[in-house]
Structure 1
Amino acid sequence: MKPTLDVAAVRAFLLVAELESFTRSAEALGTTQAAVSLKLQRLEAALGKRLLDRSPRAVRLTAEGAAFLENARALVAAHDLALTGTPRSRPRLSLGISDHAAGPELVPMLQQFQAIATELVLSVSIGLSRDLLDRYDAGALDAVIVRQEASRRGGETLAIDEFGWFAIPRFRAPAGGPVPLATLASPCGVRALAIRALDKAKMPFIEAFVGGGVAAVAAAAQAGLAIAPLARRFAPVGLVDIGPNASLPRLGRSKVILHAKVSEAAKRAALRTLAAAFRSASMSK
C-alpha cells in the first residue's frame, strides 16, 4: 500500500523551504520547532527522500527537496480547492505597510504569502505610519506594519532599525550652511525624527527634496541632491552614512511593529507567516 502525504507536513515543508529556518517556520505555524521537525521527518520517511540539509546555522533544500517543491505547492493548492469546492471569491486580508518599514522584506513576505495562504487574497497599502494607523483604527485595514508611535501601546515587534544620514561618498554639505535633506512629506515619522535631532543639535537645515516614497528619497540621495535619513537596511548600494564625518547628530533606533485585529484562523495564520518572513529577512541584512 502506497503511503499518503500529510498536507500539514507539506505546508510545513514549504515554510521551511522558504524561510530556511525551523524556528521561523514554527513561529509562522504557531507551534514548536520540535513539532515542525517531526512533521518533516515523517514527510521524508513517507517519500523515502531527504528533502532538507540541516545544520546549526542554516537549512537548505537538497536536490530532491528542490524537485519536490513545485509538486508540494500543487498538492496544497489542490487540497485547498477540494475543501472549498468550485473556485469562489477568496477572503481578503488587507495589510498596510509603512513606506519606511516595507524595505527588502516585502519580496520574501509576498513569496511566503503566495506559497502558504492560497485561500486568501492579500491587499497591500503602502503609506505613512500615521495615515495607516488611522485607517486601521477605522476598521479599513486588518493589520498594519508601521513605525512605533510614541502614544501607541501593544503590537508585535518585528524589527529594530538603526538610522543614519545617507549620501553618496563624495557628498559635501555647505560648510556652516543648512543641512540639505531628502525626506518624505509631513507627517512622516522619520522626517520628524531627523528634524528633532537637528533642532536639538542647533543645526540649520533645508528640505532640498521631498519625495512621494522612500525609493524617491533614496534616489535623490544617490543623485547627490541631499542627505537622506534612512534605516540602514534600506540604504541602497552606493550610499554611505556620512553622519560621523559631517558631525551630524545620532538618529537612534526605531521599532517596526505589527498591529492586527483578525478573528479568522486563515488570516491569523497568514499574519504569523508574514511576520516570520519579515523577521527572517530583516535579520539577514
Structure 2
Amino acid sequence: MAALPPGIDPDLLRAFVLIAEGGSFTRAAERVGRTQSAVSMQIRRLEETLGQPLLTRTPKGVQPTPQGAWLLDRARAMLALNDEILGNLRAPPMVGTVRLGTPDDYALFWLPEILARFASVHPSVELDVTCMNSDVLAEQFQQGRLDLCLLSEGQEPRGIPARRVWRGPLRWVGSPNHGLHRRDPLPLALSRPDNHCSWRAAALGALRQAGRAARVTYNSATQTGCFTVALAGLALTVSTPCTLPEGLAWLGEAEGLPPLPEMGIVLLRADAALGVPAADALAEHIAEGFRRAAPPGVAIAA
C-alpha cells in the first residue's frame, strides 16, 4: 500500500497567511505570540513539506512567490474551514444578539452567504439586521443602537475607528436597450443630496471632470430604488460590482462614460461590543467574506 502524503499543519498555514497579508515576519510573529525565528522556522517547514518557495523579500516587504500566491487563497479557505470545525464542535454554544446595520445593496449582494455561514457555525446567536442608507446608519451607530455597522468609506463618523473590509471599482449601470448614455444632459438616479453619499459625489465629479452635462432626475434613499429607476429605462446609476438584476448591464468607456474611482466598504464596531464573543465572531465572518471577494492585487487591512 502506498504511503499517504504528509498533511499540512494549520499553524504553518496560519503563519504563512499572516506574513503574506502583512508583508512582515515581525508583524506575523507579534500576532501569533511567537518569536520571529520561530515563525521563520514554520515557513521553512511549510516550504519543505510543499517543495516550493512561498515567500520572497522585496523592497516593499515580504511578498508571495507565484507558488505562494496560488497557495494564499486556498490557505485562507482551509483555515476558515478548520476554525469553523473547531468552533462548532469544541467550543460551548455562542449565544446573544448582535445588532448589525448595513445599506440595502450590501445586504442584498454581499451578506447572504456571510450570514448563512455565520448562522451555520453559531445557530444560537440572534441577528438583528437594520437596512438603511449610510447617513441614517451612521447616526444610529453614534446613538448606540448598533453593535456593528457597514458603511461606504468616507461616510463613517469622524473620530470613530473603521476597519476597511473591501475596496474596488465603482461602475456605471443602466438599461442596455434605451440608449440613455447618449442623452445630454445625462439622466441619473442617485442617492438624495442630503445623504452626503460618496457614490453620488464620485459620479457627478467624474462627469464634471469629463465635461459631460448631467442631471439627477431621480433621488433615492436606497440602491434598490436607483436600480428600479434604471430598470425602467429612465436614468443611469452607479454601483460596486455585484450581480445585477435582469434587465441591467454594466456601462463604461464603450458608451462614452468616464471612469469612476474606487470605493471602499468599512466596518464599525461599537465600544460596547468590543470583546463580546458573538460580535467578535460576526465581525470576523464579515471581514473574511469580503476578503474573499477582494479584487486581485487589492490589500484588505486585517
* TM-score, reference length from structure 1: 0.63
1:272 matched to 2:279? The reply is no
Give 1:173 shift: 2.8
Q: Residues 59-208 of structure 1 correspond to what in structure 2 (within 5 A)?
A: 80=92, 91-149=96-154, 152=158, 154-173=161-180, 175=182, 177-186=184-193, 187=195, 188-208=197-217
1:245 matched to 2:254? The reply is yes
**Residue pair 2:210, 2:258 contacting (<8 A) in 1 also:** yes
d(CA) in 1 for partners of 2:86, 2:281: 19
Give 1:123 shift: 0.9
Deviates more, 1:101-110 or 1:169-178: 169-178
d(CA) in 2 for partners of 1:138, 1:238: 39
Aligned residues, how many?
Answer: 227
Question: Could you say if the C-alpha distance between residues 72 and 191 of structure 1 is closer, same or farther in structure 2, counting changes exceeding 3 Å?
Answer: same
RMSD of aligned alpha carbons: 4.0
d(CA) in 2 for partners of 1:94, 1:238: 34
**Residue pair 2:171, 2:250 contacting (<8 A) in 1 also:** yes
Give 1:80 shift: 4.3
d(CA) in 2 for partners of 1:184, 1:234: 20
d(CA) in 2 for partners of 1:174, 1:240: 12
Give 1:106 shift: 1.1
Larger RCO (CA under 8 A, 6+ residues apart)? 1
d(CA) in 1 for partners of 2:171, 2:88: 44
Question: Could you say if the C-alpha distance between residues 171 and 31 of structure 1 is closer, same or farther in structure 2, counting changes exceeding 3 Å?
Answer: farther
Letter matched to residue 265 of structure 1: V
Give 1:128 shift: 1.6
**Residue pair 1:103, 1:234 contacting (<8 A) in 2 also:** no
d(CA) in 1 for partners of 2:137, 2:113: 22
- Pick the aligned partner of 1:225 from 234, 237, 244: 234
Give the percent of matched residue pairs that are identical in Structure 1 and Structure 2. Answer: 22
Give the SS at the match of 2:151.
strand
d(CA) in 2 for partners of 1:73, 1:273: 12
Give the SS at the match of 2:139.
helix
The CA deviation string for residues 119-153 of structure 1, in whole angstroms up to 9 with x for no partner, is 42111111222221121122111111111117746
